Copies of this chain bind each other. A is one copy, B any other.
Amino acid sequence: MRHSLTASILSHRDLGDAQFEMTVLAPAIARDARPGQFLQALYVGAGSPLMRRPFSVFRTDPEAGTLAIVYVARGAFTIGMSALRVGASISLVGPLGNSFEPDPRPDVRHMLVAGGVGAPPLYFLAREMVAAGHAPESICVINGARSRDLLVAGADFAAVGVTLRETTDDGSAGRRGTVADELSDQIAASGGCAVYACGPTPMLRAVASLCVEAGVSCRVSLETVMPCGLGVCMGCIIKLRNDAEPEGYTLVRSCHEGPIFDAAEVIW
């Protein structure tokens, strides 16, 4: 169930390098949110724009009624958001969209591939899987960024006990290279894999084409502009391969049928 509510900010941590973690009190959403789902946020504050912006749920604590997001202050909206203080309000609509659901096949190796601020929903997924009884060893997180300081949620992933592989473009932490390089090696080394990916579009394309070639199941969380996030405006459309259609594709709403899609179906 979707909620529209005003949440109060309980903590707002500067993680360095323009990354922030914001925890809010929003019991209804904290209760209902699933990994991969997102919120449409809006604040009234310094530089607040008119339209909402989507942010993935990073962590929830249903008992405490809290949830957190992690974001990068890069544009007008997020830079303004980063100035909000503890005690201030933020308006949230959610949870929205579909979720990452663990591949039900037994013995499958779950590869969670995160690029930059793609990490939050995958951290939520890793935590939920472990809580639901998946063996931490069956979960491998490949977390990549341009450089060490831009890696998101590294310590959080580690705390969950999953296998963690880091990559950076400049080699300042983990393997020098991209998450796709690492994923390629991991797929080659493992038996059955299921891939869950979230990050910048170029990264997702690389991951997707790798998986499709290797015949590995892969779910990707796409990032588009989302004017409404509610499935009504048709501003977030993507194309899914569909041979039954004369044009060979179906249009779907990234906010409503997605944001998570089967990589093999996405037309980039």
Contacts and interface: CB of A to CB of B under 8 A. Distances in A.
A45 B84 CA distance: 10
A48 B44 CA distance: 10
Interface residues of A, number: 5
Chain A, interface SS category: loop
A47 B47 CA distance: 8
Interface in A14-53: 44-48
Q: Which of A45, A46, A47, A48 has the most CB of B within 10 A?
A: A46
Nearest to A46: B45
A88 to B, nearest CB: 9
Contacts of A47: 44
A46 B48 CA distance: 8
A46 B46 CA distance: 5
Nearest to A85: B85
A161 B46 CA distance: 42
Contacts of A48: 46
A87 to B, nearest CB: 12
6 contacts: A44-B46, A44-B47, A45-B45, A45-B46, A46-B46, A46-B48
Nearest first, the 5 closest Cβ-Cβ pairs linking A and B are A45-B46, A44-B46, A44-B47, A46-B46, A45-B45
